[in-house]
Amino acid sequence: MIPGSMYGVSVRMAAHWLFLGFMLLIFGGKTETSLSVKEKLKNEVISSHRDLAPDFKEKYFKQVLDHFNYNSLGNGTYDQRYLITDQYWKKGNGPIFFYTGNEGDIWEFARNSGFITELAAVQGALVIFAEHRYYGKSLPFGKDSFNIPEVGLLTVEQALADYAVLITELKKELGAQKCPVIVFGGSYGGMLSVYMRIRYPNIVTGALAASAPILSTAGLGDSRQFFRDVTSDFERIDPACRDAVQGAFQKLNTLAQQKDYRRIQSAFSLCKTPSTPKDIHQLNGLLRNAFTMMAMLDYPYSTHFMGSMPAFPVKVACETMLNGTDLMSALRDTVGIVYNSTGQLTCYDLYSLYVECADPTGCGLGFDSYAWDYQACTEIEMCYESNNVTDMFLPMTFTEQQREQYCSKRWGVVPRPGWLKTQFWGDDLSTASNIIFSNGDLDPWANGGIRKSLSPSLIAIDIPEGAHHLDLRESNPNDPESVIVARKKESEIIAQWVKAAMESL
């Protein structure tokens, strides 16, 4: 659990320093003196806000199992987990900041989305992080949740309805009926924030969708875009880095064609000698997935989110690739940044470190991976491919036909291409309102989302030095100026939404 606060400054002082720091950062001059002041204030703001650690309480809500069918399960319920803190709330009239939980344990997102609680301290907000059904501890049927047909209640629509009911009931319980609700989310959670504003505008005043690939996951993107952008991150460090990675994969391919499996095992320190094309395919997926993770989590400081990463992992990876004694061992050591961060593994188990699924960018491990795999087999479209021409990886296709074959065998379902586009407006969002779409140029998901503002209230914010939803993370001394600017703009827009909502009452 996140520890309670032991702070020596008041919330009012924290707010003062935050906005003073922001103003100096944005409008300060370019002289050496102003830059040093800028840096000093930035660090003071961060220090004070780290003292304002939120004291989340873990609770459970009796949630309806099936919101859309009265006959199948009657009014059956399950326990949906959520985290809540009223530590900063101006009770009864401060806004509600609600995180639309995504594909994992809700504590992970609460611990890695500190900007929300920093902003809550300034704007006097109640903060709620809600766990998505079928993830973490919010399992509708316990250990049987991933049986067929029980898994069938895992849909975007059911999850949104969960959030709508939870918000409505908690507002009643807490006497917060007049409090505007702003939803936040990163990645898939960001998609859900967009969908909440579209589907339930009577409940949600506005949405901050960070790194939300709402176009590519609705089948509206280029299937080559994702791995092309992963490659670009490494090429940005040094074109020789891309060439080295590509060369290592090509050497691996040559050995595989020669069926020199023992040499492959030795080169990559595999626990077992590969013996079939299936094993080689699995190895290629495991290797490619490591580069995906480093590109997504290319933060300017070390993190423990979805694994442990050093600061600037893409730069570290390129240094490892270019300083290796040979390409194959260099590739092994490079993926070890992801799979062997502790250095304790003596060999790599192909099938336990990485599980192939309906998402070519990876589903993770454990029950959460089952849930995401099912979603990628139904509503979320993830037909991305690498081709060794526009990217540095070996050709690995994942076509609609391959997806259909896999999903039919694994889950007994046939995907419905285009369903998210039909349900949630696709790329025709111009009549929506009050949504911020933030994206970082270092994030391979960015170009699958909204990169240009669509109207005065559908605002795209670009973060040139940002990786995957960096703006949702807590302030850090190593933050690039671009994310500080982005957070300031986000906070101003949200404050305007809240003010307008309160004035309309």
Cross-strand pairs, 79: 62
Give Dmax over CA atoms of the chain in angstroms: 73
Three-state DSSP class for 184? strand
Contact in structure between 104 and 136 (CB atoms under 8 Å): yes
Q: What is the DSSP letter of 448?
A: G
Phi, psi dihedral angles at 288 (to 5 degrees):
-65, -40
User: 356, 396, 390: which is closest to 373 by C-alpha?
Assistant: 356
Structure tokens at 482: 């671009």
> Is 55 tagged catalytic?
no
> Is 229 tagged catalytic?
no
Query: What distance in Å separates the CA atoms of residue 118 and residue 15, rounded to the nearest whole number?
Result: 9
Three-state DSSP class for 436? strand
Cross-strand pairs, 98: 128, 183
Q: What is the DSSP letter of 308?
A: E
For residue 105, the tally of other CB atoms under 10 A from its CB is 18
> Is 468 tagged catalytic?
yes
Active-site annotation holder among 211, 232, 386, 468: 468
Tokens 């400054």, residue?
Answer: 9
Active-site annotation holder among 187, 433, 475, 491: 187
Active-site annotation holder among 86, 279, 368, 443: 443
Query: What distance in Å separates the CA atoms of residue 193 and residue 207, rounded to the nearest whole number?
Result: 6
Cross-strand pairs, 186: 210
Structure tokens at 394: 């070996």
Query: What distance in Å separates the CA atoms of residue 342 and residue 338, rounded to the nearest whole number?
Result: 10
DSSP for 318-379? HHHHHHSSSHHHHHHHHHHHHH-TTS--SSB-HHHH----S-TT---SHHHHHHHHHHHTTT
For residue 7, the tally of other CB atoms under 10 A from its CB is 16
Phi, psi dihedral angles at 308 (to 5 degrees):
-100, 130
What's at 392, amino acid-wise? M
What's at 125, amino acid-wise? A
Query: What distance in Å separates the CA atoms of residue 167 and residue 171, rounded to the nearest whole number?
Result: 6
Contact in structure between 19 and 26 (CB atoms under 8 Å): no
Structure tokens at 383: 């037909």
DSSP for 40-84? HHHHHHHHHHHHS----EEEEEEEES-SS-TTTSTT-EEEEEEEE
**Which helix (H) or strand (E) segment is 440 a member of?**
strand 435-440
Residues annotated as catalytic are 187, 443, 468
